[in-house]
Each structure stands twice: as C-alpha cells, then as structure tokens.
Amino acid sequence: MKRTRSLYVPAAAAAVLLTAGPVASATAASATAVGTRPASAAAARADVDAAGAAAAALKKYPGFVESLDKDGSVWHVDVIGKNGKAHSEVEVSAAGAVTRSDSDTEQDGNEYKTLLAAKVDAAKAMKAALAATPGKVWSLDWDNDNDNGVADYWSVEIKSSDGSTKNVGVDAKTGKIVPADSDNDGDNDNDNDNN
C-alpha cells in the first residue's frame, strides 16, 4: 500500500507543476511588465518647463519669444517672427508638443524693433531671473514702457516651492536684475485675467 500511495503523490505534484507552471510564468512576466510601467508613466507625466515650452514654440515658429505663461499644464507662448512682422500665439502641451497656433503676418515690424535687437533674449532672461530667485518660471513678458527706469526689460514671474510668486526684472541689454513692474505678491497664481 505504501508503494502505491508514493506513486500517486509524485504524479499529482507533476500535474500541478504542469498546470501551474505557465500560470506562474505569466504572473512573473506580468509583474515584470508592471514594474517597467511606472518609470515610463512617470516620464510621460513630467511637465515641460518654461524653457522647454519656449524652445518647442521656437522650433515650430522661428523668431523671438515675446511672452509666455502657464495655464494648468499648457504653456501659452507668443512668438514674434525674425522680421518682426509675424506674430504667432502658440500653445505647448505638458509633453512639449505645439498643439495650437494663431498667426498674424501683418504686424508693424517697428513695434518689435527693440525686442528683436535685445542682447538678452527670453532664455537668457529666465536663466538670470532663476539665478537671482530660485523656483520655477511661471510667466515671462517683454516690457518696454520704462515704468521702472529701464527702457527695455523682461518681467519674469518666479513661483517658489512654498507657492509664493515674485516678479523679477531683467535688463534686456545687460542681463542685470532690475526692479520689475510689481514685486512679491505672496499668492498662488490662479492663472486668470483678474490678477
């Protein structure tokens, strides 16, 4: 009797292994696939920053960034063409893709003469502002109204890690920090037109 029972046990174990083997293998493969998903999903969720949005807009519409601002996960970028006569309003998605544009090619070229001649472009202005005030660039605007004693400058809004914002002015000729049109506002920018 003992001998017969010992034959049934190995046969039953073999049957279980044959049946469970593919299931265990599929489970292991599934776990491996799931293990790789979070890394790629996290990479897909990484929002493009202001510099990336500006670069994406300029790649599609060569020229000069006049302004940019973040609205949710979308960047709105205004690009002035190299001749000053074209103006494109561009939306850049969180992934850095240009998703929409409105263009006007009949602008007065003289209106943007100082922007086109500026030694400090938008990218350099953002770098200078971030060097002076750590955080993330939330918006950038070209300003030539001389309201702070500087004829041509960039107004760069920086959002700090605590959620407060600060406007930093960057001289378009020297790259030096100058007073901006407004200073610390200490609020969380809701990106509406009532600010």
Query: What is the distance between the alpha carbons of residues 4 and 12, in angstroms, rounded to a whole number?
Result: 13
**Which residues lie closer than 8 Å to 126 by C-beta, 6 or more apart?**
50, 51, 54, 137, 140, 156
CATH topology of domain 50-178: Nuclear Transport Factor 2; Chain: A, (3.10.450)
Q: Of 146, 71, 98, 147, whose CA–CA distance to 79 is shortest?
A: 98
Query: What is the distance between the alpha carbons of residues 30 and 60, in angstroms, rounded to a whole number?
Result: 40
pLDDT at 111: 85
pLDDT at 45: 52
pLDDT tens, the chain, 195 aa long: 444 444 444 444 444 444 444 444 444 444 444 444 444 444 445 689 999 999 999 999 999 999 999 999 999 999 999 988 889 999 999 999 998 778 787 777 788 899 999 999 999 999 999 999 999 999 999 998 777 677 899 999 999 999 999 999 999 999 999 987 654 444 444 444 434
pLDDT at 149: 73
Q: What beta strand segments (E) does the chain contain?
A: 63-71, 74-81, 87-92, 98-104, 136-143, 153-159, 165-171, 177-178
CA distances (Å), 77 to each of 13, 102, 129, 134, in order? 67, 11, 18, 22
Tokens of residue 174, six digits = 């020297």
- Residue type for position 148: N
- Residue type for position 121: D
Per-residue pLDDT reduced to its tens digit, 132-173: 999 999 999 999 877 767 789 999 999 999 999 999 999 999
pLDDT at 172: 95
pLDDT at 22: 46
Burial (CB count <10 Å: 0-12, 13-18, 19+), residue 59:
exposed
pTM: 0.69
Query: What is the distance between the alpha carbons of residues 77 and 54, in angstroms, rounded to a whole number?
Result: 7
